[in-house]
Amino acid sequence: MIAIISAMQEEIQALLNKLQNVSTIEKGMRTYYVGTLFNKKVVLVFSRWGKVAAAATTTQLINDFDLDEIIFTGVAGGIHPNLNIGDIVIGKDLFQHDLNASPFYKRFEIPIIKKLFLETKNPDSLIAATTIFLQNYHCYVKLNDAQIFDITKPKLVFGDIASGDQFISSLKKIAKLNKQIPSAICVEMEGAAVAQICYEYEMPFSIIRIISDKANDNATIDFSKFSNTIASNYALGILENYFA
Can 11 be counted among the known catalytic residues? Answer: yes
Does an H or E element contain 88, and which? Answer: strand 88-96
DSSP states of 110-159: BTTTTBS-EE-S--HHHHHHHHHHHHTGGGTS-HHHHHHTT-SS--EEEE
Contact 34, 46 (CB under 8 A): no
Of residues 48, 8, 5, the one with CA closest to residue 222: 8
Query: Of the residues 10, 11, 109, 188, which is catalytic?
Result: 11
Can 150 be counted among the known catalytic residues? Answer: no
Neighbours of 23 (CB within 10 A): 9
Give CA 173 to chain center in angstroms.
21
Contact 14, 235 (CB under 8 A): yes
Long-range contacts of 165-168 (CB under 8 A, 24+ apart): 165/50, 165/51, 165/52, 165/98, 165/189, 166/98, 168/77, 168/79, 168/215, 168/219
Query: Of the residues 10, 87, 160, 213, which is catalytic?
Result: 213
Distances (CA, A) of 104 to 36, 98, 100, 109, 200: 46, 16, 9, 10, 21
The catalytic residues are 11, 213
